[in-house]
Structure 1
Amino acid sequence: MLNLTRPWRALRRAPPSATSASATLGTPPIHHKASRAARLIQLDSGGMARWTPRDYAALAREGFVANAVAHRAVKLVAENIAALTFLASAGGTPLDRHPLLDLLARPNPRQDGAALLEALVAHLLISGNGYVEAVGLDGRVRELHVLRPDRMRVVPGPDGWAAAYDYTVAGRTVRYAQQGTLPPILHVALFHPLDDHYGLGAIEAAAVAIDIHNAAARWNKALLDNAARPSGALVYAAPDGAVLAEDQYERLKSELEASYQGAANAGRPLLLEGGLDWKAMSLTPKDMDFLEAKNGAAREIALAFGVPPMLLGIPGDNTYANFQEANRAFWRHTVLPLATRLCGALAHWLAPAFGDDVRLEVDTDRVDALAADRDALWERVTAAPFLTVNEKRAMIGFGPVDDGDRL
């Protein structure tokens, strides 16, 4: 729970050097704000990352690191976006070469363009936030670097917008003031209905399903370690109401630990004597519908990331025709919308350095999964006798040609 008592008192406390009567009596000084909501925004944010129940480290460990379904979903989206080819245009005219394309192809000495985009998209899906730093020299943008979102904190300004970003590593903090023609930090945030500065990652929306899936995997592992048997109890029912002696109890416990526990003792029969009876104390996997619960959680994880379940190997209608349709839907509804948004954000951010009319877009003609859609478009355009050559070329994304304004 956020404690507003200490910051509110700190805000109202007079400076130690004040000698006025108001400071002596503890009367709060008058503060003038540019916005009525600025004080509340400053107190609520304070330059600190605000995560709903789970923080970035926990989400990354339990989701991306420890869960195979979420890991593959993140990799599938990030790697496909990183493998895309991008086109640049200026004033609506497609360009074969552009300095912005060269920068995206080789953003820094340690990464190529695919590695930078993969890291950016992975951070977006895990935390809902992606940060890119622009490094300039002699008035030109020379390098781009992706920064970890768990180390970045938004510092709101008087108007409520981000005035700066604090990046903390090993106890050192660097402040990036969002000033100048080209701000040094690009912050891409997925939509969050309850936060003004930070985005909502897909892995956080799938946190409950991820916990169920991980718990099922741990339960299965523990069951295998315990000779693939559920837990139970040995009940001693002597006819005369007698109980086991201390040495009998210790001998029985040591024999169970040495001869019947562990995967190496799987399948060994349990020999009971002297009125002992085995009573199971937990539900069997069949009673729990173990596999269906685990597959249901996996489907919810895939749904949160926008990945069709069959692309992740989750059991279902995994026929070849369904796989083709699922792959096409994955590209239409997940990969291309996110890639288009990143193109718009990068072009808008870097426009002061490369021209206000520069645009970035995805070259969909090189996406094999959309080949059927492209062939259908070409057939429709070719069969339209009422369109000129240049109109047909414009419909499929090509520029005009001389003498093309004819039927």
Structure 2
Amino acid sequence: MKLLDAMAARLGYEKRSGADPSWAALAPGIGYHAGLSARAAENLSTVLACTTVIATSLGSIPALIYQRDGAGNRIEALGHPLARITRDGVSEAMSWPDFIEHLVASTLLTGNGLAEILRDSAGQLSGFRYIPWGMVTVAELASGRLAYDVSDGRGHRRRLLQGEVIHLRDRTDDGLVGRSRLSRAAETVAGVQSSNQFANSFLDRGMAPSGVISYPGTLNDDQRIHLREQMASRHEGARNAGRTLVLDGGMTWAASQISPEDAELLETRKFGVEEICRLFQVPPPLVQDYSHNTFTNSETAGRWFAMFTLAPWARKLEAEYARSVFPAGSALELELDLSGFLRGDPQTRWAAHKIAIDTGVLDPDEVRQIEGWNPRAGVRSDDGKEAAIS
């Protein structure tokens, strides 16, 4: 059998390995499903908010293409096809920010984000096509490479190989296919979902009268109907708020309230928000949970988010582009510029710029470039710096 496999491989045929990592990733409780599907998990507002704030933030970050010269200096490669793609869009149907948002959100929810690398007839990079992970089956070939069988939803399948796709992964168990953090903490996610279901059931079916009228005797049907109609006409609704209630015949009124707080429902749901934020490493203020927030720590939360949430994902994207898009051994690299998130308040930022200029680390035109401004008219730097700025 090994001889036949070797002969088939030489002819261009490759065989699936016995263990298909994709099916393990798609099994209930792992990968695309985490007790509940990733799409269903987005019904949890905190899951949706966490994935959205990470994905949209990464999509909004400037993407810069650099090439290193022989001395190791980096020069921005404005003429590279990827630089054009980041400006004009990955295809006619999708912009660069939308593409990054889709790719990252899929990875956060399913553990994997996939996109086909498009090239023209000359082999030049021309764009990317996002592929929903639910339409992909992964096979490990006899050569050890991965193959991605992509369905178009109409019964047709085509195969893509490594080098033809960008495959962004969350942490993996087998080194091949990512596993979603929703599945790793399936019990936590299920607990938050259960508290939401209980809250909905409580609101839909729970009986919570505002008060009780007691009568020492027994009302007949007509008296009961008359009392109900009188209460409805004189005391229900906003227009009747505050009207004096008059009772006779020995009737008494006692206020009654069954609140979600009494059932500790609200506290449970608040804790669920914090639990989901832990899974995605998102500070709660960024998903509109201000229960422990102050003006000071909200600013700190933004920088914390950039350093410990966005920076690792940006590095994953940069490494995947270096591995899959740029030629092996090339001096090209993609950089997602996080400096805008890390600048801090204007006073601190400009104080840092002044220190950099006074110590000779930066010149004024370089500071202007950092701030997104053109060089000052009539002021020229040396040739190397001018080339880098232009």
Shared fold per TM-score greater than 0.5: yes
Amino acid at match of 1:185: V
Which residue, 303, 306, 310 being the options, matches 2:278? 303
8 Å contact from structure 2 (residues 356, 362) kept in 1: no
Tell whether 2:174 aligns with 1:195. Answer: yes
- 1:176 alignment counterpart: 160
Alignment of 1:5-404 (within 5 A): 42-45=17-20, 48=23, 50-51=25-26, 53-54=28-29, 56=32, 58-64=36-42, 66-91=43-68, 92-95=73-76, 97-98=78-79, 99-105=81-87, 106-139=89-122, 140-162=124-146, 164-168=147-151, 169-178=153-162, 183-192=163-172, 194-229=173-208, 285-286=260-261, 288-352=263-327, 356-367=330-341, 370=344, 374-375=349-350, 377-384=352-359, 402=382
Query: Match for 2:74: what amino acid?
Result: T
Q: Residue 143 of structure 1: SS of its match in structure 2?
A: strand
Higher relative contact order (CA 8 A, sep 6+): 2
Runs of 4+ in 1 over 6 A off after TM superposition: 29-34
What is the distance in 1 between the residues matched to 2:148 and 2:110? 17
Q: Which moved more, 1:126-135 or 1:91-100?
A: 91-100
Q: TM-score w.r.t. structure 1 length?
A: 0.66
TM-score by length of 2: 0.68
Name stretches of at least 5 consecutive residues in structure 1 with no aligned partner: 1-28, 35-40, 231-254, 260-264, 267-282
Structure 2 alignment gaps of length 5 or more:
7-15, 210-224, 230-235, 238-257, 372-379, 386-390
1:369 is displaced (CA, Å) by 5.6
Give the superposed CA RMSD: 3.8
* Map of 1:23 onto structure 2: none
- 2:158 counterpart SS class: strand
Partners of 1:74 and 1:130 lie apart in 2 by 13
Give the deviation of 1:299 after TM superposition. 0.4
Post-superposition Cα deviations, 1:319-342, rounded to whole Å, max 9, x if no partner, equal 111111111111111112212321
Query: Aligned residues, how many?
Result: 311
Q: Which residue of 2 aligns with 1:247?
A: none
Match of 2:99, SS state, is helix
Task: Give identity over the alignment, percent.
Answer: 22
Check 1:287–1:61 CA distance in 2 against 1; reply closer, same or farther (3 A cut). same
How much does 1:313 deviate?
2.2
Q: CA deviation at 1:196?
A: 3.0
* Alpha-carbon shift at residue 382 of structure 1 (Å): 3.8
Task: Summarize the Cα distance change of 1:284–1:364 in structure 2 as closer, same or farther, 3 Å threshold.
Answer: closer
Pair 1:146–1:125, CA change in 2 (3 A): same
Counterpart contact for 1:108–1:143, Cα < 8 Å: yes
Taking structure 1 as reference, are residues 32 and 123 closer, same or farther at Cα in structure 2, changes over 3 Å only?
same
Are the equivalent residues in 1 in contact too, given 2:67–2:76 (CA < 8 A)?
Answer: yes
**CA contact 1:154–1:197 (8 Å) conserved in 2:** no
Higher mean C-alpha displacement, 110-119 vs 339-348: 339-348
The alpha-carbon distance between structure 1 residues 137 and 389, as it changes in their structure 2 partners (threshold 3 A), is: closer
Measured at CA, do residues 404 and 339 of structure 1 come closer, stay the same or move farther in structure 2, by a change above 3 Å? Answer: closer
User: How far is the alpha carbon of 1:30 from its aligned partner?
Assistant: 7.1
SS in 1 for 2:56: helix
Preserved CA contact (<8 Å) 1:85 1:363: yes
Amino acid at match of 2:91: N
